[in-house]
Amino acid sequence: MASIITADNLVRDDRVIREDDPFPYLVDRVEEQAEAVVVSYSSGDKVTYPKLQPVIVVSRD
């Protein structure tokens, strides 16, 4: 099951569904900045999101 949260609520080990890929990306690190969040994924990708941008995460159960 998936849910929608804002980028500023992401934490390590969340699994994010990104619009360019149907498979989830594992969050390795989250760095908060003044108006944004820099998310490092285990794949090596780094994405900068506005803090209130909605993101889809796979259930944390």
pLDDT in tens, 11-58: 999 999 998 788 999 999 999 999 999 999 999 999 999 999 999 999
- Say if residues 16 and 32 touch (Cβ distance below 8 Å): no
Confidence at residue 14, expressed as pLDDT on a 0 to 100 scale: 96
Dist. CA 2–CA 56, nearest whole Å: 6
Q: Is the pLDDT of residue 60 over 80?
A: no
Dist. CA 35–CA 26, nearest whole Å: 23
Band (59; pLDDT cuts 50, 70, 90): confident
pTM (2 decimals)?
Answer: 0.89
Dist. CA 61–CA 32, nearest whole Å: 24
Distance of CA 33 to the CA centre of its chain: 15
Domains and CATH numbers, the chain: 2-58 (2.30.30.30)
